[in-house]
Structure 1
Amino acid sequence: MKKVITTIIISLAVLLSAHVKAEKTDYFFAPEVIFDSTIPTPEEFLGYEIGSRITEHSRINAYYEKLAELSDRTSLIEIGQTHEKRKLYVLIVSSPENIRNLDRYKEARKNVRQGEKPDSPLIVFLGNTVHGNEISSSEAALLSAYYYVAAQNDFLLKQLEEGIYFIDPVRNPDGQERFASWVNSNTSVNSYNISQFDREHTEGWPRGRGNHYWFDLNRDWVNIVHPESKARVAFYQDWLPHVQADHHEMGTNSTFFFEPTDPDGNESRFVPQSTYQLNRLFADHYAKALDKIGSFYYTKESYDNKNPNFGSTYPDYNGGVGILFEQGSSRGLKQESDNGIVTLPFTVRNQLVTSIATVDAAIAHRDALFDLQKEFFTPLRGREASKSYIIGDSYDLSRLHKFVQLLLDHRLEVYENANDVTIDSVQYEKGKSYIIPAGQPNSALVGIIFDDIKEYDDASKLGYGAGFSVAYSTGLSYNVTASSSRGARVQTLPQVYTGSLQPSEYAYLVDYRDSKSQQLLFRLLERDILVKSAFKPFSISTDKGVRDFSYGSLLIPVKNQTISSSELYAILKELAEQEKIDIIPVSTGLNVKGVDLGSSTFKRIEKPKVLVVTGGDVSSLEAGEVWHLFDQQLKYPLVRVDFNIFGRVPLNEFNRIVFVSGNYSFLNESEIENLKNWVRNGGTLITLNGASRWAISNKVTSAKLVERPDTTGQRQGTGVSSRSFGRFPTSVFQTKIDLEHPLAFGLTSEKLPVVRESALFLAPSSNAVSVYTDDPLLNGYISSEHLERLKGSASILANNSGRGSVILFAEDPLFRGIWDATGRTFVNAVLFGNNISGR
């Protein structure tokens, strides 16, 4: 009897505890949900109510660690770390039995690519806060984790048996911490200010949207430039989820958006229609969930559903259903809007109920999701199935292997090219080229990576972008082939570096066509080693026979260095092994063909001292690309100077200055004149994209813009109508570059694909390094008006001014950290800018 009474008392205590918890969470959860009293609510663990402050990433991780410690429903996986060494956690929640069998299910998921239905539960991935200042979903991730770990209702227990749920609470921890610090340090303690102009709601530059280097990680799912993306794509490809939810925020005056997007112009030709049909079926669940709590929403009006670099579209190209959510943001704790006062708790609740609705919808359409994956990964048949892409480079295996590794990271099939093949006068050598079948199981991802579409029925329906080809970004030669020269499938890439450097008492040479030579050169300059660059090609005898060297080849003399020959050899040997690049010793300066090593056409390379302007209205995306290039790739110091102190900086301490897109109105007339004098005295100013317009408008350079009459028939002072200042969908274009110009050193093809988003047109001149062809569009869209102005215009100009130069790029050559070919021209501008003068 005592035992029965004790049991009753315990049961009542559990129910009472659950009731107390329900009172604490009844704003966020339906009243019928019963929670396990042994699992702390987020409020209990954190010590404050959700929505009363921004929860730092570290505290979110700590809560997830506590849930994993307390519950057998969970497995906490660290999939990687950010640039700032923050842990990237994914909380896996399912039934205890499913959790015990995770390894078996993960192995079974490999069968998906074979077009088979694997023996595994449903896989749903809930992703949050890829933009660090869109924090309502990361706050909601605390509550969704609590819900799936602690809820005791029978319907929830059944869902745990039927599915495995991944919760990625913060996809951009570095940016999220930056934003949390801003809001928490600027929030009033006793009285909220709801004005949009209050400091709490006007986050400072560079804002928390981007990661450590200010990149937009929601443009990196295919590019895989950053560690967050590398970890996430590897995890995604291991599991191939049926559904991925991608939660964002938008402007404060908006309500809530969920898919489907506008079907006209927003559906990819590579994605099965059954994917979009599931989007529409899922929408019914979201509408029902938001109707229940009285929240307004809209669908089918906006947002791009084609770009594979988005977290909401990458699944569509991998056999899953990706779903975008956009919540009108409070950008702090409370803010006035056209829809009344938007509070953080309100936005969190909307994100939470749609997260739960995603699982409900996935369960309801389980069979259709499994059928979709089987349909998606069934290889193509017919003409498309026989088509392949061949890509190669006879000189730059570093760049080639980087691209092939990207394909392998996406688990795509790549094969060796077994024979030398010539297509359209381009030779693809065995061992230096690869074949990628179009008809492999994941044909959709292959299709978009090699996308060549440039015709759209309704341009008004285009989203952010129209050109998505990653293959063009490499600058490598590639083509379509039906050749049967496919060799062995590539699992890992071969080692190219031989590691056999021998000492020389005369000189060393480096073939600059290998892109790794740029990193090597910076290492040498950093150590104050004398290096020259060949402005003419030559051939010379080496211990391995006669070698041909092209424009830009590096010459490292042994004599006249500040160190001994043995010290130089030791440094070169170390750097060759570190950078995995061949350094070639020579014992004579006499050529076999071309110029001798003592020719004046070998010019000394000046050690760059580089400054980039940041802050204010300067583009953080482009400034971040410059920073990332120097810090992560070149590993060379870069000085970042905020706009408000630029006028006080002694410019003579630098020989290279970079202006990215932005508003430079902070410079007064005397400061602009000071900049011009710095150029005339030997400095190199490099302007990207919109900054090139600023340089022309302020007569920092003699370059001009392409003129056109405005709509009134009169010419504007700048020669460009106001319409030219707009943007158009991201697209890819063909330019022709002068291979003999220092900015082109290392390139082997005069065909140079570029990416552009802005209507900036540089007038051609004798100083043009690269110009647009007469049929420039490769992938994407451009209006007929813009096309006529683009034809023959300059992509890169290098104008002399006194002893210095101004190098203008019409585009962003470092676009998203992946546009390697044009990135090389930018680095050349940094390295050889002083040798442009007098050319």
Structure 2
Amino acid sequence: MKFSILRQSGFLIALVFWVSFSEAQTVPTPKSHFGFDIGDEYMLANFSQAEAYFKKVDEASDRVKLVEIGKTEFGRSQPMMIITAPKNFSQLDRYKEISQKLGRAEISESEAKALVKEGKPVVWIDGGLHANEVVGAQQVIETLYQLASRNDEETLKILDEVIILLVHVNPDGMEIMSDWYMSNPDKTKRNQNIPVLYQKYVGHDNNRDFYMNNMSESSNISLQQYVEWLPQIVYNHHQAGPAGTVVAGPPYRDPFNHVFDPLIITSLDAVGAAMINRLHVEDKPGYTRLDGSVFSTWWNGGLRTTPYYHNMIGILTEIVGSPSPYSIPLVPDRLIPNNGNPFPVTPGPWPFRRSIDYSVSLNYAILNHAVRHGDELLYNFYKMGRNSIERGNTDTWTRFPKYAQAIQDEFDAAQKKKEADDEDAAYFGFRSGLPIQFYDSVYKDPSLRDPRGYILPADQADFPTAIKFLNALIKSGVVVHRATADFMVNGKSYPKGSYIVKTAQAFRPHVLDMFEPQDHPNDFLYPGGPPIRPYDAAGWTLAYQMGVQADRIMEGFEGPFERIAYGQLLAPEPASVPSASGYLLDARVNDSFLAVNDLLKAKVKVYRTSTASNGLPAGSFYIPGSGKKALETVSKSYGVKPVGVQGQPSGSKEVKPSRIGLFDMYGGSMPSGWVRWMMEQFHFDYKQVFAQEIDGGNLNSKYDVILFIGPGMPGGGGGYGGGSQPKKEDIPAEYHNMLGRLTVDKSIPQLKSYLENGGQIITVGAATSLANHLNLPVSNALVEIVEGKERSLTGDKYYIPGSVLEMHVDNSATANYGMGATANVLFNNNPVFKLSPDAALKGVKPLAWFGTEPPLKSGWAWGQQYLKNGVTAFEAQVGKGKLYAFSPEITFRAQSHGTFKMLFNGLYK
């Protein structure tokens, strides 16, 4: 608008106020844009509509700045709305800088206190990660509107005092889910049973990727959280609340992880109190907490859990709600008020809009808490980071359960050596505790200290994979150093180009969690009772999963180290190709497979050796000198180092690309989806295969190898895809080929025929049940004899939730080329096999097995003794073909690089 000059100052002030107020009021309402109110029954906005609305609000409101934080896996823009008072935008970069400095804690106490006074708390609120949990994405729209348009005292105070990052965390999923739901013209028949995953590759597992950061969306989010903005609070919206409640939230049940700062737990209490109190004040019942839900703070890897390891307060709520009619079910136990459920909700119909209102109230509760405790949030953020740096610079012992048990065991052993009288028993008894020397025996034992840092030698066999590990850390804001010259630590020499990760840094909890084993406590419903399942995994140590060599350094150390800038990703050093008549690529290097696939596509001949040659193991790849030009390209791109040789090793055989089929199912399989992503990263061509095609037979004419990863095999379990499927006529034709399931009557005979005619099948996890259908001489090793009958072990005797175990490997077998003698593998109550005495005569050969020692490396394993000598992988000759069965999760969430070769070795002819 064009205004004339006004001379009356009072009138000018009033006009400025009116203009500001008017601008807030001109923010378009959701109904004016979408044609319905957010939370209306049977209505969902899709992402295209939401994105257009975000742009309208950005244009209309001076409280909102819309930014793109990256692209999704399908190439959509991933939006973040920065929301604050108009006056704060001129200082936005300064507020970000203050948050970074406090979070990294590399400043003095006095500097920190000054920055606390100057800064403003940063609060992250998101929605839509799990697209079938539709409340999350829809409440983002409503929250944006309310923060951009409301002029009440609380909202204006929030805008003045807080920087809000409102983020849509799965645009692709919202588009897929909402379009599917709204496509049925009969609103009473609308449903959320989409035929594909709601993230391009991994669906629900998009919330299992936040320390690995494989997916584009995860990387975008981590960059903002751990490199750019470093928010003090991260609020991640989910569904659904436990039956008989409305919403589950903090504080959460035990156990919490031992490596992060105790201020995290008490801060969760404080934020949780603000949330539940607000709902109660607003007469909104149904909030459950503590043991009222399954959620804990143990696991790392989720959008709200990884922040704990970065000194951030991660908030998860799981709320009920659906655009289709929904009712709170009657659960008698939930009607009784208790500490976990102090204000029970009355069962009955539950409108969708009510879930939106609850969500906005919870957002406001957190933002109001940030207003009232802003200085405290900022200072505590600094304090936790400073604590981490100090712990990394001094002798520190993390208080693991195993250490407490070691103290008790040592005391018990001492007691057995003496015949204590009653007076001694009173002294040594529980009431007065144990003598302090038993504490000192553990917590002054230098061998049990936390490391001061880790060195990743540049001369380790698979250095490109070590680079990928380091990039996962860098995406999470971890400080990494690189050696600019050769150096020595504790008498060991390390080459230039090695990398160093010290624990004296603010995100020390995350560093320890990626390098050190997790020690999950024994957690049972009652003594002698069933185990309480951890939320997700019990152990996951990434360095173990990826097979990375990292030397633990227990004393402070220095060297010719340069610091890598925050967020600056590493690339392998380009390798040169010497002049030679031929070349070898190391079978131990995962990226050798990537290079080989590029060479094969360039029509270069490639061979595999059958014996060790020129210092490289059997299974290494030979490339004739004629392929040098193409080899130079891949060596430069991937850092694989060719070894020049003077001739083709004897016994080497030419390899060619296989025609690969990857089994999937209607609705999508996440384990299969992770492998889809892996295949694309390593440039393996593949085709998805569904049950109808299996049942149709003639498989040998189309596929050289078929992969079955996890669920789908009859009787195999593994979850996913077990629900009802739609009728063919009720879904678009493009999805008809996905319908159907593998069956014993139709599918198994076709798979058996495929094998007998020379095909190859690789099974992982639950899919290994195919061996039973083929009547191979293998059986379940996890059994006991009760009253003369064989019975599967019960949970009170044997239970291993997601944990890292060590297995022995026959690395002379072609299926295990490039592997070491042992391998760490993710194991999640997977099958364990016993081969019959005549197995070898029938063409069945073990490929990997547990030894005689307890195999647990990280996590929780109850009843490890039952694993002794159990087989974890085998190959079986079936007619002219072969079945490979890998029980553990060798492709787990595309994290377990240390066992990728077990899959890749089987993907060539």
* Fold agreement, TM-score > 0.5: yes
The answer on whether the counterparts of 2:129 and 2:136 sit within 8 Å (CA) in structure 1 is no
> Which residue number in structure 1 is paired with residue 174 of structure 2?
176
Q: 1:731 to 1:498 in 2, by over 3 A?
A: closer
Equivalent residue for 1:450, pick from 490, 515, 518: 515
> Is 1:367 aligned to 2:375, yes or no?
yes
What's the secondary structure of 1:467's corresponding residue?
coil
> Is 1:43 aligned to 2:31, yes or no?
yes
Structure 1 window deviating more from structure 2 (762-771 vs 793-802): it is: 762-771
Q: Deviations over 1:706-746 (max 9, x none)?
A: 15236665226xxx458699974311111122232223323
> Which residue number in structure 1 is paired with residue 685 of structure 2?
637
> Which residue number in structure 1 is paired with residue 833 of structure 2?
762
What's the secondary structure of 1:640's corresponding residue?
strand
> Is 1:313 aligned to 2:305, yes or no?
yes
The answer on whether the counterparts of 2:713 and 2:770 sit within 8 Å (CA) in structure 1 is no
The answer on whether the counterparts of 2:588 and 2:818 sit within 8 Å (CA) in structure 1 is yes
> Which residue number in structure 2 is paired with residue 197 of structure 1?
none
Whole-Å Cα distance in 1 between the matches of residues 143 and 363 of structure 2?
7
Measured after TM superposition, the shift of residue 359 of structure 1 is 0.5
Mapping of residues 51-70 of structure 1, within 5 Å: 51-52=39-40, 53-70=43-60
Q: 1:422 to 1:809 in 2, by over 3 A?
A: farther
Whole-Å Cα distance in 2 between the matches of residues 613 and 725 of structure 1?
34
What's the secondary structure of 1:36's corresponding residue?
helix
> Which residue number in structure 2 is paired with residue 404 of structure 1?
470
The answer on whether the counterparts of 1:735 and 1:753 sit within 8 Å (CA) in structure 2 is yes
The answer on whether the counterparts of 2:474 and 2:569 sit within 8 Å (CA) in structure 1 is no
Measured after TM superposition, the shift of residue 681 of structure 1 is 2.5
What is the percent sequence identity of the aligned residues? 21
Equivalent residue for 2:354, pick from 346, 349, 357: 346
Mapping of residues 481-520 of structure 1, within 5 Å: 481-482=553-554, 484=557, 486-491=559-564, 496-498=572-574, 500-501=576-577, 506-520=581-595
Q: 1:380 to 1:736 in 2, by over 3 A?
A: farther
For 2:685, the aligned partner's letter is P
> Which residue number in structure 1 is paired with residue 536 of structure 2?
464
> Which residue number in structure 2 is paired with residue 599 of structure 1?
650
Measured after TM superposition, the shift of residue 38 of structure 1 is 0.9
The answer on whether the counterparts of 2:454 and 2:502 sit within 8 Å (CA) in structure 1 is yes
Q: 1:701 to 1:186 in 2, by over 3 A?
A: farther
What's the secondary structure of 1:662's corresponding residue?
coil
Q: Deviations over 1:189-210 (max 9, x none)?
A: 4xx36xxxxxx346144443x4
> Which residue number in structure 2 is paired with residue 380 of structure 1?
390
> Is 1:333 aligned to 2:400, yes or no?
no
The answer on whether the counterparts of 2:678 and 2:894 sit within 8 Å (CA) in structure 1 is yes
What's the secondary structure of 1:250's corresponding residue?
coil
Equivalent residue for 1:783, pick from 826, 842, 862: 862
Whole-Å Cα distance in 1 between the matches of residues 185 and 786 of structure 2?
48
Q: Deviations over 1:520-564 (max 9, x none)?
A: 11223334543211111122xxxxxxxx32222111236xxxxxx
The answer on whether the counterparts of 1:36 and 1:150 sit within 8 Å (CA) in structure 2 is yes
Mapping of residues 681-720 of structure 1, within 5 Å: 681-692=757-768, 694-699=769-774, 701-709=776-784, 713-715=788-790, 720=792
When the two structures are aligned, how many residues end up with a matched partner?
Answer: 760
Measured after TM superposition, the shift of residue 790 of structure 1 is 2.0
> Is 1:144 aligned to 2:143, yes or no?
yes
Q: Deviations over 1:387-407 (max 9, x none)?
A: 222334522221111112222
> Is 1:555 aligned to 2:622, yes or no?
yes
Q: 1:473 to 1:759 in 2, by over 3 A?
A: closer
Q: 1:422 to 1:286 in 2, by over 3 A?
A: closer
Whole-Å Cα distance in 2 between the matches of residues 398 and 428 of structure 1?
20
Whole-Å Cα distance in 2 between the matches of residues 657 and 278 of structure 1?
50
The answer on whether the counterparts of 2:233 and 2:314 sit within 8 Å (CA) in structure 1 is yes
Equivalent residue for 2:206, pick from 217, 230, 247: 217
What's the secondary structure of 2:506's corresponding residue?
coil
Whole-Å Cα distance in 2 between the matches of residues 644 and 353 of structure 1?
48
The answer on whether the counterparts of 2:487 and 2:560 sit within 8 Å (CA) in structure 1 is no
Whole-Å Cα distance in 1 between the matches of residues 317 and 802 of structure 2?
22
Measured after TM superposition, the shift of residue 260 of structure 1 is 2.5
Q: Deviations over 1:587-617 (max 9, x none)?
A: x32xxxxxxx3522x1222421111111148
For 1:682, the aligned partner's letter is G
Q: 1:249 to 1:474 in 2, by over 3 A?
A: same
> Is 1:93 aligned to 2:83, yes or no?
yes
Structure 1 window deviating more from structure 2 (666-675 vs 724-733): it is: 724-733
> Which residue number in structure 1 is paired with residue 886 of structure 2?
809
Whole-Å Cα distance in 2 between the matches of residues 251 and 154 of structure 1?
31
> Is 1:741 aligned to 2:813, yes or no?
yes
The answer on whether the counterparts of 1:415 and 1:487 sit within 8 Å (CA) in structure 2 is no
Q: Deviations over 1:434-471 (max 9, x none)?
A: 33222322211112112313351535454322113112
Scaled by the length of structure 1, the TM-score of the pair is: 0.84
Whole-Å Cα distance in 2 between the matches of residues 531 and 138 of structure 1?
49
> Which residue number in structure 2 is paired with residue 562 of structure 1?
none
For 1:319, the aligned partner's letter is N
Q: 1:728 to 1:259 in 2, by over 3 A?
A: farther
Equivalent residue for 2:605, pick from 530, 534, 557: 530
Q: 1:699 to 1:727 in 2, by over 3 A?
A: farther
The answer on whether the counterparts of 1:254 and 1:327 sit within 8 Å (CA) in structure 2 is no
What's the secondary structure of 1:44's corresponding residue?
helix
What's the secondary structure of 1:763's corresponding residue?
strand
Q: 1:445 to 1:428 in 2, by over 3 A?
A: farther
> Which residue number in structure 2 is paired with residue 676 of structure 1?
752
Q: Deviations over 1:97-137 (max 9, x none)?
A: 21121122222333111253433211000011211211202
For 1:686, the aligned partner's letter is I
Q: Deviations over 1:771-817 (max 9, x none)?
A: 22322101110112xx1222322222122223321111112211111
What's the secondary structure of 2:801's corresponding residue?
strand
Equivalent residue for 2:823, pick from 752, 756, 770: 752
Mapping of residues 622-633 of structure 1, within 5 Å: 622-631=671-680, 633=681
What's the secondary structure of 2:24's corresponding residue?
coil
Q: 1:803 to 1:621 in 2, by over 3 A?
A: same
The answer on whether the counterparts of 2:209 and 2:301 sit within 8 Å (CA) in structure 1 is yes
For 1:775, the aligned partner's letter is P
For 2:502, the aligned partner's letter is P
Whole-Å Cα distance in 2 between the matches of residues 712 and 63 of structure 1?
68
RMSD: 3.2
> Is 1:615 aligned to 2:691, yes or no?
no
The answer on whether the counterparts of 2:180 and 2:192 sit within 8 Å (CA) in structure 1 is no
For 1:770, the aligned partner's letter is A
> Which residue number in structure 2 is paired with residue 23 of structure 1?
none
Whole-Å Cα distance in 2 between the matches of residues 793 and 107 of structure 1?
54
The answer on whether the counterparts of 1:394 and 1:432 sit within 8 Å (CA) in structure 2 is no
Whole-Å Cα distance in 1 between the matches of residues 454 and 478 of structure 2?
13
Whole-Å Cα distance in 1 between the matches of residues 802 and 261 of structure 2?
24
Whole-Å Cα distance in 1 between the matches of residues 251 and 156 of structure 2?
33
For 1:166, the aligned partner's letter is L
Scaled by the length of structure 2, the TM-score of the pair is: 0.78
The answer on whether the counterparts of 2:237 and 2:317 sit within 8 Å (CA) in structure 1 is yes
What's the secondary structure of 2:790's corresponding residue?
coil
| Runs of 5+ unmatched residues, structure 1 | 19-33, 194-199, 540-547, 559-564, 590-596, 835-839
